[in-house]
């Protein structure tokens, strides 16, 4: 499916989210989708192969986090760590839509971080970089630590807590409301908001779990 054929679906999704992007950013999103499809043939970055399905299940699904993230950062510069980023979802999408945000995508699989490096170069994203490592070894501190379908909330927060800045937050993208996972969280992790997300064209539940460490719990 051509870029031209996908554009109306992208435009409809952006309108549904109330997202304002430049034409250049729109083209970057479609270029990213093309690049992901091209690499996917060789490196199997995602199980979804159909371009229209990739747009809904990956691109629009990741775009759902942009408005909540912008609401949090208020246009200020910020540093984000995307944990278990895989093919760059949502990290690359955040880097495209929020040029004021510095995005680091960390993954333990080398071919995935190589793809992120290629995406940063091809799409002209100086605010995007990749890190081939396990998140537990990351020593830098970030204002926001995010993930999309990476692990349970308990594992995600435990493994990445050393990467969280003192006033930082976790932003976990989940499917349906994770009631069971919430009960398994460490007492030091405070959930302060669970936000329902509507993804156009996606017949599945989505939510965003906002968390922070209790002040006394920072390592």
Question: 65-217 in CATH: which number?
Answer: 3.40.50.150
Residue 216 scores a pLDDT above 80: no
Strands (E) in the chain, as ranges, are 78-83, 101-107, 128-132, 142-148, 164-174, 189-197, 206-213
Binned at pLDDT 50, 70 and 90, residue 219 comes out as low
- What pLDDT sits at residue 218? 60
- What pLDDT sits at residue 84? 93
Q: Could you tell me how many residues make up the chain?
A: 219
Residue 44 scores a pLDDT above 80: no
Residue 186 scores a pLDDT above 60: yes
Binned at pLDDT 50, 70 and 90, residue 107 comes out as very high
Q: Which sequence spans correspond to the domains of the chain?
A: 65-217
pTM, full prediction:
0.95
Residue 19 scores a pLDDT above 90: yes
């Amino acid at each position: 499916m051509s870029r031209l054929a996908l554009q109306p679906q992208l435009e409809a999704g952006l309108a549904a989210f109330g997202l304002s992007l430049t034409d250049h950013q729109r083209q970057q999103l479609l270029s990213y989708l093309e690049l992901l499809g091209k690499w996917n043939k060789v490196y199997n970055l995602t199980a979804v192969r159909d371009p229209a399905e990739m747009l809904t299940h990956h691109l629009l699904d990741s775009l759902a986090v942009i408005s909540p993230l912008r609401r949090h950062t208020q246009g200020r510069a910020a540093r984000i760590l995307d944990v278990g980023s895989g093919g760059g979802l949502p990290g690359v999408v955040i880097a495209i839509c929020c040029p004021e945000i510095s995005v680091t995508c960390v993954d333990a699989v080398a071919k995935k971080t190589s793809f992120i490096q290629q995406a940063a170069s091809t799409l002209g994203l100086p605010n995007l970089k990749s890190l081939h490592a396990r998140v537990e070894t990351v020593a830098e501190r970030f204002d926001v630590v995010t993930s999309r379908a990476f692990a349970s909330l308990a594992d995600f927060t435990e493994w990445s807590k050393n990467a969280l800045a003192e006033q930082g937050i976790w932003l976990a993208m989940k499917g349906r409301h994770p009631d069971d996972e919430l009960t398994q969280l460490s007492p030091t992790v405070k959930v302060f908001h669970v936000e329902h997300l509507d993804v156009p064209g996606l017949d599945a539940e989505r939510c965003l779990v906002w968390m922070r460490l209790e002040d006394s719990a920072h390592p």
